[in-house]
Structure 1
Amino acid sequence: MEENSGSGIAVAITIIVYLAIAVVFIISFWKILEKAGKPGWAALIPIYNLIVLLEVVGRPGWWIILYFIPCVGLVISIITAIDLAKSFGKSAGYAVLLIFAIGYPLLAFSDAKYVGPAAKSA
Protein backbone atom coordinates (compact mmCIF):
# COMPACT_ATOMS: atom_id res chain seq x y z
CA MET A 1 0.00 0.00 0.00
CA GLU A 2 2.77 2.44 0.82
CA GLU A 3 4.20 2.17 -2.70
CA ASN A 4 1.11 3.90 -4.12
CA SER A 5 1.21 6.81 -1.68
CA GLY A 6 4.06 8.41 -3.62
CA SER A 7 2.07 8.39 -6.84
CA GLY A 8 -0.97 9.76 -5.00
CA ILE A 9 1.09 12.69 -3.75
CA ALA A 10 2.43 13.29 -7.27
CA VAL A 11 -1.11 13.33 -8.65
CA ALA A 12 -2.26 15.73 -5.93
CA ILE A 13 0.66 18.09 -6.61
CA THR A 14 -0.05 17.95 -10.34
CA ILE A 15 -3.70 18.83 -9.77
CA ILE A 16 -2.81 21.73 -7.46
CA VAL A 17 -0.29 23.14 -9.96
CA TYR A 18 -2.77 22.77 -12.81
CA LEU A 19 -5.51 24.56 -10.84
CA ALA A 20 -3.12 27.35 -9.85
CA ILE A 21 -2.16 27.91 -13.49
CA ALA A 22 -5.83 27.87 -14.52
CA VAL A 23 -6.71 30.47 -11.87
CA VAL A 24 -3.85 32.75 -12.96
CA PHE A 25 -4.95 32.44 -16.58
CA ILE A 26 -8.61 33.17 -15.76
CA ILE A 27 -7.71 36.21 -13.66
CA SER A 28 -5.37 37.44 -16.40
CA PHE A 29 -8.00 37.00 -19.12
CA TRP A 30 -10.56 38.74 -16.88
CA LYS A 31 -8.27 41.77 -16.48
CA ILE A 32 -7.47 41.87 -20.21
CA LEU A 33 -11.16 41.93 -21.07
CA GLU A 34 -11.78 44.70 -18.52
CA LYS A 35 -8.90 46.75 -20.00
CA ALA A 36 -10.61 46.40 -23.37
CA GLY A 37 -13.91 47.67 -21.95
CA LYS A 38 -15.62 44.29 -21.93
CA PRO A 39 -17.11 42.49 -18.91
CA GLY A 40 -14.41 40.54 -17.09
CA TRP A 41 -16.84 37.78 -16.08
CA ALA A 42 -16.97 36.77 -19.76
CA ALA A 43 -13.64 35.03 -19.16
CA LEU A 44 -15.49 32.41 -17.12
CA ILE A 45 -17.93 31.30 -19.81
CA PRO A 46 -16.61 28.87 -22.42
CA ILE A 47 -17.21 29.78 -26.07
CA TYR A 48 -18.67 33.17 -25.07
CA ASN A 49 -15.20 34.20 -23.91
CA LEU A 50 -13.88 33.52 -27.41
CA ILE A 51 -16.69 35.57 -28.95
CA VAL A 52 -15.82 38.49 -26.66
CA LEU A 53 -12.12 38.05 -27.50
CA LEU A 54 -12.96 38.21 -31.20
CA GLU A 55 -14.82 41.49 -30.54
CA VAL A 56 -11.81 42.86 -28.66
CA VAL A 57 -9.45 42.13 -31.54
CA GLY A 58 -11.92 43.25 -34.21
CA ARG A 59 -12.67 39.95 -35.89
CA PRO A 60 -16.20 38.90 -36.86
CA GLY A 61 -18.16 36.76 -34.42
CA TRP A 62 -18.72 33.98 -36.95
CA TRP A 63 -14.99 33.18 -36.64
CA ILE A 64 -15.99 31.21 -33.53
CA ILE A 65 -16.92 28.37 -35.90
CA LEU A 66 -13.37 28.29 -37.24
CA TYR A 67 -11.99 27.49 -33.77
CA PHE A 68 -13.70 24.10 -33.94
CA ILE A 69 -12.26 23.00 -37.28
CA PRO A 70 -9.12 20.89 -36.81
CA CYS A 71 -5.92 22.70 -37.88
CA VAL A 72 -7.90 25.81 -38.85
CA GLY A 73 -8.56 26.46 -35.15
CA LEU A 74 -4.83 26.55 -34.50
CA VAL A 75 -4.31 29.11 -37.27
CA ILE A 76 -7.22 31.22 -36.00
CA SER A 77 -5.76 31.10 -32.48
CA ILE A 78 -2.43 32.39 -33.78
CA ILE A 79 -4.09 35.18 -35.79
CA THR A 80 -6.17 36.15 -32.75
CA ALA A 81 -3.04 36.23 -30.55
CA ILE A 82 -1.30 38.53 -33.05
CA ASP A 83 -4.38 40.77 -33.17
CA LEU A 84 -4.61 40.82 -29.37
CA ALA A 85 -0.98 41.91 -29.07
CA LYS A 86 -1.51 44.67 -31.64
CA SER A 87 -4.78 45.72 -29.95
CA PHE A 88 -2.72 46.51 -26.86
CA GLY A 89 -0.01 48.33 -28.78
CA LYS A 90 2.43 45.44 -28.71
CA SER A 91 4.35 43.99 -31.63
CA ALA A 92 3.33 40.85 -33.45
CA GLY A 93 6.36 39.25 -31.79
CA TYR A 94 4.62 39.66 -28.44
CA ALA A 95 2.02 37.25 -29.79
CA VAL A 96 4.55 34.44 -29.31
CA LEU A 97 4.25 35.02 -25.55
CA LEU A 98 0.46 34.95 -25.88
CA ILE A 99 0.55 31.73 -27.88
CA PHE A 100 2.48 30.06 -25.06
CA ALA A 101 0.15 31.67 -22.46
CA ILE A 102 3.02 33.53 -20.78
CA GLY A 103 1.86 36.79 -22.32
CA TYR A 104 -1.61 36.84 -20.73
CA PRO A 105 -0.45 37.62 -17.18
CA LEU A 106 2.17 40.01 -18.55
CA LEU A 107 -0.46 41.86 -20.59
CA ALA A 108 -3.00 41.83 -17.76
CA PHE A 109 -0.76 43.11 -15.00
CA SER A 110 1.43 45.50 -16.98
CA ASP A 111 0.64 49.09 -17.83
CA ALA A 112 -0.41 48.05 -21.36
CA LYS A 113 -3.39 50.03 -22.60
CA TYR A 114 -6.03 48.87 -25.03
CA VAL A 115 -5.65 50.92 -28.19
CA GLY A 116 -8.52 49.40 -30.15
CA PRO A 117 -9.22 46.38 -32.29
CA ALA A 118 -6.18 45.67 -34.43
CA ALA A 119 -8.07 43.83 -37.17
CA LYS A 120 -10.35 46.80 -37.89
CA SER A 121 -7.40 49.13 -38.47
CA ALA A 122 -5.47 46.70 -40.68
Structure 2
Amino acid sequence: MPRSGFTLIELAIVLVVTGLLVTFAWPAMETRLTASRRADATLALERVQLAQERHRALHGLYSADASALGVSLRSPEGLYALSLDTGVPDGYAVVARPIDGSPQQADAECAEITLQVVQGFATPGPSRRCWNR
Protein backbone atom coordinates (compact mmCIF):
# COMPACT_ATOMS: atom_id res chain seq x y z
CA MET A 1 0.00 0.00 0.00
CA PRO A 2 1.51 3.38 -1.04
CA ARG A 3 2.11 5.95 1.68
CA SER A 4 0.81 9.47 1.37
CA GLY A 5 2.58 12.60 2.61
CA PHE A 6 6.05 14.05 2.37
CA THR A 7 9.34 12.55 3.39
CA LEU A 8 11.71 14.27 5.76
CA ILE A 9 14.13 14.94 2.90
CA GLU A 10 11.42 16.64 0.82
CA LEU A 11 10.47 18.87 3.75
CA ALA A 12 14.12 19.73 4.39
CA ILE A 13 14.60 20.72 0.74
CA VAL A 14 11.52 22.96 0.88
CA LEU A 15 12.81 24.63 4.06
CA VAL A 16 16.27 25.21 2.55
CA VAL A 17 14.80 26.73 -0.64
CA THR A 18 12.44 28.93 1.40
CA GLY A 19 15.30 30.04 3.62
CA LEU A 20 17.42 30.98 0.61
CA LEU A 21 14.58 32.94 -0.96
CA VAL A 22 13.97 34.87 2.25
CA THR A 23 17.69 35.51 2.75
CA PHE A 24 18.12 37.09 -0.67
CA ALA A 25 14.68 38.57 -1.31
CA TRP A 26 14.10 40.32 2.04
CA PRO A 27 16.93 42.91 1.79
CA ALA A 28 15.97 43.71 -1.80
CA MET A 29 12.36 44.18 -0.76
CA GLU A 30 13.36 46.47 2.13
CA THR A 31 15.48 48.57 -0.23
CA ARG A 32 12.57 48.96 -2.66
CA LEU A 33 10.14 49.84 0.16
CA THR A 34 12.51 52.52 1.47
CA ALA A 35 12.88 53.97 -2.02
CA SER A 36 9.13 53.90 -2.67
CA ARG A 37 8.38 55.68 0.62
CA ARG A 38 10.56 58.58 -0.57
CA ALA A 39 7.66 59.46 -2.86
CA ASP A 40 5.86 60.70 0.26
CA ALA A 41 8.55 63.37 0.70
CA THR A 42 8.75 64.32 -2.96
CA LEU A 43 4.97 64.72 -3.17
CA ALA A 44 5.00 67.04 -0.15
CA LEU A 45 7.88 69.08 -1.60
CA GLU A 46 6.09 69.40 -4.94
CA ARG A 47 2.92 70.57 -3.16
CA VAL A 48 4.91 73.32 -1.44
CA GLN A 49 6.47 74.26 -4.78
CA LEU A 50 3.06 74.51 -6.43
CA ALA A 51 1.70 76.61 -3.56
CA GLN A 52 4.76 78.89 -3.68
CA GLU A 53 4.37 79.44 -7.43
CA ARG A 54 0.68 80.22 -6.92
CA HIS A 55 1.60 82.71 -4.16
CA ARG A 56 4.28 84.28 -6.36
CA ALA A 57 1.81 84.69 -9.24
CA LEU A 58 -0.70 86.44 -6.96
CA HIS A 59 1.65 88.51 -4.77
CA GLY A 60 4.86 88.87 -6.79
CA LEU A 61 7.07 87.06 -4.28
CA TYR A 62 7.53 83.76 -2.50
CA SER A 63 5.98 83.34 0.94
CA ALA A 64 8.09 82.99 4.07
CA ASP A 65 5.11 81.53 5.93
CA ALA A 66 3.92 78.00 5.18
CA SER A 67 0.50 78.68 6.72
CA ALA A 68 -0.04 81.48 4.17
CA LEU A 69 0.49 78.87 1.47
CA GLY A 70 -2.22 76.62 2.83
CA VAL A 71 0.00 73.52 2.84
CA SER A 72 0.95 71.18 5.62
CA LEU A 73 4.53 70.87 6.81
CA ARG A 74 3.92 67.13 7.15
CA SER A 75 4.07 64.70 4.25
CA PRO A 76 0.78 63.05 3.23
CA GLU A 77 1.68 59.70 4.83
CA GLY A 78 3.21 61.40 7.87
CA LEU A 79 6.69 59.99 7.30
CA TYR A 80 8.43 63.35 6.83
CA ALA A 81 8.42 66.81 8.39
CA LEU A 82 9.11 69.77 6.11
CA SER A 83 10.93 73.00 6.82
CA LEU A 84 10.79 76.10 4.66
CA ASP A 85 13.87 78.31 4.25
CA THR A 86 13.27 81.62 2.55
CA GLY A 87 16.82 82.88 3.08
CA VAL A 88 17.64 81.88 -0.49
CA PRO A 89 17.99 85.02 -2.67
CA ASP A 90 15.12 85.21 -5.20
CA GLY A 91 13.77 81.88 -4.05
CA TYR A 92 13.38 79.37 -1.25
CA ALA A 93 14.38 75.91 -0.15
CA VAL A 94 12.24 73.16 1.33
CA VAL A 95 13.75 70.25 3.23
CA ALA A 96 11.98 66.98 4.08
CA ARG A 97 13.39 65.05 7.04
CA PRO A 98 12.06 61.75 8.41
CA ILE A 99 10.08 62.18 11.61
CA ASP A 100 11.06 60.29 14.77
CA GLY A 101 9.89 56.70 14.61
CA SER A 102 9.52 56.74 10.84
CA PRO A 103 10.96 53.75 8.95
CA GLN A 104 12.64 56.33 6.72
CA GLN A 105 15.10 57.21 9.49
CA ALA A 106 17.10 54.19 8.31
CA ASP A 107 17.40 55.70 4.81
CA ALA A 108 21.04 56.82 4.93
CA GLU A 109 21.21 57.60 1.21
CA CYS A 110 18.42 60.18 1.36
CA ALA A 111 18.37 61.31 4.98
CA GLU A 112 17.14 64.71 3.79
CA ILE A 113 15.30 65.31 0.54
CA THR A 114 15.49 68.88 -0.67
CA LEU A 115 14.03 71.20 -3.26
CA GLN A 116 15.67 74.55 -3.90
CA VAL A 117 13.99 77.08 -6.17
CA VAL A 118 15.87 80.14 -7.41
CA GLN A 119 14.18 82.54 -9.85
CA GLY A 120 11.64 79.87 -10.75
CA PHE A 121 14.18 77.11 -11.48
CA ALA A 122 13.96 74.07 -9.23
CA THR A 123 16.91 71.92 -8.16
CA PRO A 124 16.02 68.65 -6.42
CA GLY A 125 18.50 67.13 -4.02
CA PRO A 126 20.54 65.55 -2.77
CA SER A 127 20.44 63.31 -5.86
CA ARG A 128 18.04 62.22 -8.57
CA ARG A 129 17.84 58.78 -6.95
CA CYS A 130 16.11 60.33 -3.95
CA TRP A 131 13.38 61.62 -6.27
CA ASN A 132 12.74 58.18 -7.87
CA ARG A 133 13.46 59.56 -11.30
Indicate the TM-score class for this superposition, using the shorter chain for normalisation: 0.3 to 0.5
If the length of structure 2 is used for normalisation, what is the TM-score? Answer: 0.32
Q: Tell which has more relative contact order, 1 or 2 (C-alpha 8 A, sep 6+).
A: 1
Which structure has the bigger radius of gyration?
Answer: 2
As a proportion of its length, which structure holds more strand? Answer: 2
As a proportion of its length, which structure holds more helix? Answer: 1
If the length of structure 1 is used for normalisation, what is the TM-score? Answer: 0.34
